[in-house]
Amino acid sequence: MKRLSIALLATALATPALAQHQGHHMPGHSMPMPKAKPKPKSPAATPKPAAKKPVSRTKAAARPAARARPKAPPKKASAKPVGKPTAKAAPKPAASAKDPHAGHDMEPATLSRPAADPHAGHSMPQGTASSGQDVQQADPHAGHDMGTAPAPQADPHAGHQMPMADAPPVAPPPAGAFSGPEHAADTVFGPGQMASAREKLRKEHGGMTTYKLLVDQLEGRIRSGRDGYRWDAQGWIGGDIDKLWLKTEGEGAFGEAVEQAEVQALWSHAIDPWFDLQAGIRHDFRPDPERTHFVLGVQGLAPYWFEVDGAAFLSNKGDVTARIEVEYDLRLTQKLILQPRIEFDLAAQDVPELGIGSGLSSGELGARLRYEIRPEFAPYVGLEYERAFGSTADFRRAGGEKAGGWNLLLGVRTWF
Amino acid sequence: MHHSLSLERRALLRAATLGGLGLGLGGLFPAWAQSGTAGLAPTLPTLSGEDINLRVGHSPFTVGGRSGHAITLNGVLPAPLIRLREGQNLRLNVLNDLDEDTSIHWHGLLVPFQMDGVPGISFPGIPARGSFTYEFPIVQSGTYWYHSHSGLQEQMGHYGPMIIDPKDVDPVAYDREHVIVLSDWSFFHPHQIFSKLKQEGGFFNRQKQTLLGGREDEMTQEERMMFARMRMDPTDIADVTEAAYTFLINGHGPRENWTGLFRPGERVRLRIINAAAQTIFNVRIPGLAMTVVASDGQNVRPVLVDEFQIGNAETYDVVVQPSDDRAFTFVAETIDRAGMGRATLAPRMGMTAPVPPLRKRPTLGMKDMGMAGMDHGAMNHGAMNHGAMGQGSMDHAAMGHGSAAPAAAPVMDHSNMNMRDASKVTFPVGVGVDMIAPNPVDRTGDPGIGLEDVGHKVLTYRDLVALTPNPDKRAPTRAIEIHLTGNMERFMWSIDGQTLSENPEPIRFELNERVRVTMVNDTMMTHPMHIHGHFFEVVNGHSGDHPVKHTVMVLPGGKLSFDMTADAPGDWAFHCHLLYHMHAGMMRIVKVRPLKGEAA
């Protein structure tokens, strides 16, 4: 065997004829075909009704019970009436060298064919021509209405008709498919090397750990009385299904001690395409006295794009409370987004030392208008009405506060 | 006679000079990809012969005046053109200068399984600072390409074209040829891109529907509500967009404007390869019709088109014959129409043609939800063209569904339709599956998202007919159904609801078994699906002459069947060729047994 070893060499020239590799089958490259067999035409083939659903839907993974499979390939080669010439044969001259679209060589033999296609021009060795009219494609644009579809098609745009009329049954693989070594490459490179490569392959295709840190609210709150501030942030790290999820929020007034501050550490488990079940611990550093809660919640995206976060809390003092937040991103432009938001706090009992009354204890209704300088960084302005209800309101009034009021919000939303 | 590349001598010399100069200055373009190239010619440096050396390494890459970090082969982006001849033997010595594993997969080439280049399936990979020698005979011809199958290296520049000349007469006649490699370049690190997608599935979409935004969409109120209820974004057409990408043609950005030369009247063969990581392109040359002569390296009967959609890893050979002494713009508009790759075909360097503006951004419709055929009665959605109907006045109940109306109860209310009916499939419908197409239809007759109504002829898979009859005349003995599944919101992608990381049961074939594989797309994205080591015949109605491909796009909410002969023993990859979908797990291993030399 002669070998050309210089890389930067003429390519189209002089490639030595080498022994033909025989292991592979080359579809579509049987040209030129000296004696193409005429295509089996069986006009008698019964036109099948519209694509039937396969009978059995056995999972491919199931091992077959010794399934007898005919060794010889079926004689009938997808026999269907093929290609009756289309009605709209273009009234143009047969392909000639002057045809601007002819990209293909016309050998003399081809010219004898009734080449109605103005763009036809592949050199067709004689053999093919003898296979009859069924290779004709009268119009390159007529690809849609091929004669193979037996049913008359009133509507060329209808997507219903399947060109695959006679589908074979869905079936598990034959027994031979399970023979031999499980991993082919082990036979060449050894199982040791391949095992670690396989492990890496698996991890690289779906097994990655990702993360996100979102500071949803970092804002000053301008209101009657002393102005305040609030933060609300969360972050997660993990895979698609299970994540470690951390949340923190808190607020206070400038110049005073922090009024409220909490941190949650949750295990988050995806329970459907849009929702996660979350369970873990919440600790309130403020107010005094501190509390620790067990948390059970659901967070996700509800139909119509509502972002929902609801959780129930059981404190170390046995108090049960709950919180529900719903927000929605109303996209005004690609960068300007109005986010209405509502939050309710509920309690199952009075917790006088924390100023919480049973029932609906407090609520917030507001909207933040943010401008995404980058999607990850958006300053915002907002307006929010916050108030306490029921005995919670009474607790507040008793402490010399108002039950509720308006807040003008100025803040930043960021994530990475 | 067919290889008489009648080249303009001066242009050729100039190109060669440029090429030499480029290389001399450490330029990153291989000669064939230099702007102003006269086309492929024997005198231009390509890699050919039986011994080829490739070195994988780091290089800087500059586009649009900005420089980034690339992973390249032999220092150029795209990688060198490898030009071979059918019937020859080939030995490729690959040196890995990286500090991480690499690999090269020869896309579309029929090779022994251990030479296919997928780490963890065909071989262990090429270790950091190590080497590997690929050796195989070339048993086919046509336009192909090669790329890394390790991590996300393909996104960083690790791809190049491969052309194999037929050992016999080439049925395609042409006077000149150009290779056109489409790709997407980012200054973001691919891991950063993937991370953003996991954090916010729609992060790179800057064409979302807005209340005040200028672009109004032709969607009915019913459709809008339907999408919102399903938490699906009808503008989610591409995961990664121009927000992160510069679209390259032969390594040149739109500003660099790669120019390929021709002489008026010549038949110019363009070998177009979509080597992009995550971008499906709509290709057209305003003013110039294209005759498609091959797809995925396999000849087809010539089809005259004005435009075609090309999925990742697909290749199309087209012949154009510009007769005027003027320039033409080669437009590779992205599927979401947020960006484009641009190049020029011109008689002389420096000539340009107008660059058409980006067309209106398309939106997904009912058909993309797998609801195209929900009304089996006298009418159908496809013909009704929901988009054009406007005003949500559609009352399906009033339209008289025929007796065949399935399971839709007395009133065909789409908003109550179960878009995630687990009884339709045999696998568990879990977190990673946000939709099961209620009624997927064959979409081989569709030109692709947004191309239904562009006012000129767009290629569909149904237009493709193999030039020579399909060699294996046997009818398939069994069928398998594969569901392409995903969760847009969490950016999870899988096959039959399972990612490769979950170690799913492989797809098993018996050697030489003839199988019909039907892929059902239960997502609202187009997936270019690729099987290694085999060609398959797309079942498109041209029985016996089905087009032969290695990669095929399955349109959203649709299905597509192919017949294949499992004639290559070994283990092979089967995956979505959108890189980040594959990375997210949309991949399976195909096993063909018995192996060679084994008793059956």
The overall average pLDDT reported for chain B is 88
Mean of pLDDT values over B235-248: 97
In chain A, % of residues over pLDDT 90: 58
- For B143, the token pair is 């336009």
Give how far A347 is from chain B: nearest CA, Å: 31
pLDDT one-digit tens code per residue, B187-234: 999 999 999 999 999 999 999 999 886 556 778 888 888 899 999 999
The pLDDT of residue A103: 44
Q: Does B298 contact A330 at a Cβ distance shorter than 8 Å?
A: no
Which pLDDT band holds residue B500 (cuts at 50, 70, 90)? very high
- What's the pLDDT at B34? 81
How confident is residue B252, by pLDDT bands cut at 50, 70 and 90? very high
Provide the β-strand partners of residue B315.
Answer: B273
Q: Given an 8 Å threshold on Cβ–Cβ distance, is B583 in contact with A5?
A: no
The nearest alpha carbon in chain B to A372 belongs to B206
- Residue B59 contacts A where some CB pair is shorter than 8 Å: no
A206 shares contact with chain B (CB less than 8 Å): yes
Please report residues of B whose CB lies closer than 8 A to that of A210: 194-195, 198-199
**How many percent of chain B have pLDDT more than 70?**
86
Q: How far apart are CA B566 and CA B533, in angstroms?
A: 9
Across the interface, whether the CB atoms of A11 and B83 are under 8 A apart is answered yes
- H-run or E-run covering B113: none
CA distance A240 to chain B (A): 7
Q: What are the helix (H) ranges across B376-469?
A: 381-384, 386-389
Query: Six-digit token pair at B170?
Result: 């080439």
Of B76, B246, B97, whose CA–CA distance to B158 is shortest? B76
Q: Are strands B536-538 and B558-565 parallel, antiparallel or unpaired?
A: antiparallel
Contacts of A4 in chain B (CB under 8 A): 48-51
Task: Give CA torsion, residues B38, B40, B45, B49, to 10 deg.
Answer: -170
Are A167 and B199 within 8 A, CB to CB? no
CA gap A123, A126 in Å, rounded:
9
What residue has token string 């550093």? A285
Contacts of B560 (CB under 8 A, 6+ apart): B442, B443, B444, B461, B518, B519, B521, B538, B539, B552, B554
Query: Taking 90 as the threshold, does the pLDDT of residue B522 lie above it?
Result: yes
How far is the CA of A262 from the CAs of A211, A235, A265, B65, B526, in angstroms?
A: 21, 14, 10, 48, 44
**Coil, strand, or helix at residue B421?**
coil
DSSP string, A78-128: S-----PPPS----SPPP-TT-TT--B---HHHHTS----TT------HHH
| CB contact A274 to B (< 8 Å) | yes
Question: In the beta sheet, which residues pair with residue B165?
Answer: B85
Could you tell me if B87 lies within 8 Å of chain A, comparing CB atoms?
yes
Residue of B nearest to A129 (CA): B468
Distance between CA atoms of residues A15 and A18, nearest Å: 9
CB of B572 within 8 A of CB of B590?
yes
Cα B91 to Cα B137, B481, B532, distances in angstroms: 9, 38, 20
Which residues are registered as beta bridge partners of B482? Answer: B519
From the list A122, A163, A210, the residue facing B301 with the nearest CB is A122
pLDDT in tens, B298-326: 999 999 999 999 999 999 999 999 999 99
Q: Is A77 at the interface with chain B, CB within 8 A?
A: yes
The pLDDT of residue B144 is 98
pLDDT for residue B40: 65
CB A33 within 8 A of CB B468: yes
Dihedral sign computed on CA atoms, order A130, A133, A138, A140: negative
On whether any CB of chain B is under 8 Å from the CB of A201, the answer is yes
Residues near B217 by beta carbon (within 8 Å), at least 6 away in sequence: B209, B234, B235, B363
List the helix and strand counts (H, then E) for chain A.
5, 13
Whether residue A52 lies within 8 A of chain B, CB to CB, comes out as no
Which whole-number Å values give the CA distances from B567 to A358, B532, B533, B593, in the listed order? 72, 12, 9, 9
Block means of pLDDT (10 residues each) for chain A, 416 residues, are 39 34 39 41 42 41 39 40 38 40 41 38 37 36 36 39 68 94 96 96 94 98 95 98 98 94 98 97 94 98 97 97 97 96 97 93 97 97 96 92 95 97
Distance from CA of B255 to the nearest CA of A (A): 25
Confidence at B45, pLDDT banded by 50, 70, 90: low
Partners of residue A149 in chain B, C-beta under 8 Å = 541
Question: CA–CA separation, B498 vs B484, rounded Å?
Answer: 10
Q: Among B303, B376, B295, which residue's Cα sits nearest to residue B547?
A: B295
Q: Which residues of A touch B321 (CB under 8 A)?
A: 100-101, 103
Tokens of B414: 């789409």
Chain B residues lying within 8 Å of A203, measured CB to CB: 501
Interchain proximity B477–A168, CB inside 8 Å: yes
User: What per-residue confidence (pLDDT) applies to B598?
Assistant: 57
**Best of B1, B222, B545 to mutate (most A CBs within 10 Å, chain A):** B545
Chain B positions touching A170 (Cβ under 8 A) are 478-481
Total H helices, total E strands in chain B = 6, 32
Average pLDDT over residues B85-112: 98
Assign residue A47 a region (left: φ > 0; alpha: ψ between -120 and 50; beta: otherwise).
beta
B200 interaction partners in chain A (CB closer than 8 Å): 375
Q: Which pLDDT score, from 0 to 100, does residue A153 have?
A: 37
Could you tell me how far CA B49 lies from the centroid of its own chain? 28
Q: What is the ipTM of this complex?
A: 0.87
> Is B302 in contact with A193 (Cβ distance < 8 A)?
no
In sequence order, the 6+-apart residues with CB closer than 8 A to the CB of B125 are A197, A200, B101, B102, B103, B119, B150
Which residue from B53, B139, B584 is facing A7, i.e. has the nearest CB?
Answer: B53
* Beta carbons of B126 and B102 less than 8 angstroms apart: yes
Shortest Cα–Cα distance, B482 to chain A (Å): 10
Q: How confident is the model at residue B414 (pLDDT cuts 50, 70, 90)?
A: low
Question: In this predicted structure, what is the pLDDT of residue A64?
Answer: 38
- Give CA–CA dist B65/B61, Å, rounded: 10
Give A-chain residues touching B513 at CB under 8 angstroms.
173-174, 176-177
- pLDDT number for residue B41: 57
- Closest CA relative to residue B542, chosen from A122, A39, A32, A105: A39
pLDDT of residue B577: 98
Which tokens sit at B344? 């020029």
Contact A103 B432 (CB under 8 A): no
Q: How far, rounded to the nearest angstrom, does the alpha carbon of residue B284 sit from its chain's CA centroid?
A: 16
Structure tokens given for B18: 């440029």
pLDDT for the residue numbered A287: 92
**Nearest CB to B171 within list A11, A122, A334:** A122
Residue partners of A46: CB distance under 8 A and separation at least 6:
none
Distance CA A357, CA A343 (A): 16
| B176 — pLDDT class (breaks 50, 70, 90) | very high
Q: How far apart are CA A96 and CA A110, in angstroms?
A: 11
Stretch 320-379 of chain A: residues touching chain B, C-beta under 8 Å: 330-334, 336, 375
Q: Give the CA-trace dihedral at B112, B116, B119, B123, to 10 degrees.
A: 20
Q: CB of B460 within 8 Å of any CB in chain A?
A: yes
Distance from CA of A187 to the nearest CA of B (A): 10
Judged by CB atoms closer than 8 Å, whether chains meet at A26 and B595 is answered as no
- Distance in Å, alpha carbon of A278 to nearest chain B alpha carbon: 15
- The C-alpha atoms of residue B424 and residue A57 are separated, in whole angstroms, by 10
Residue B294 has pLDDT above 60, yes or no: yes
List the one residue out of B519, B518, B554 whose CA is nearest residue B443.
Answer: B554
The sign of the CA dihedral A277, A283, A285, A288 is: positive
All residues at 6 or more sequence positions from B475 whose CB lies less than 8 Å from its CB, including other chains? A74, A76, A77, A78, A166, A168, B514
* Closest by Cα among A217, A206, A153 to A410: A217
| Lowest mean pLDDT segment, chosen from B182-186, B403-407, B495-499 | B403-407
Quick check: helix, strand or coil at residue B451?
coil
Residues B412-431 have a mean pLDDT of 83
Residue A241: both structure tokens together:
């299904």
Structure pTM? 0.81
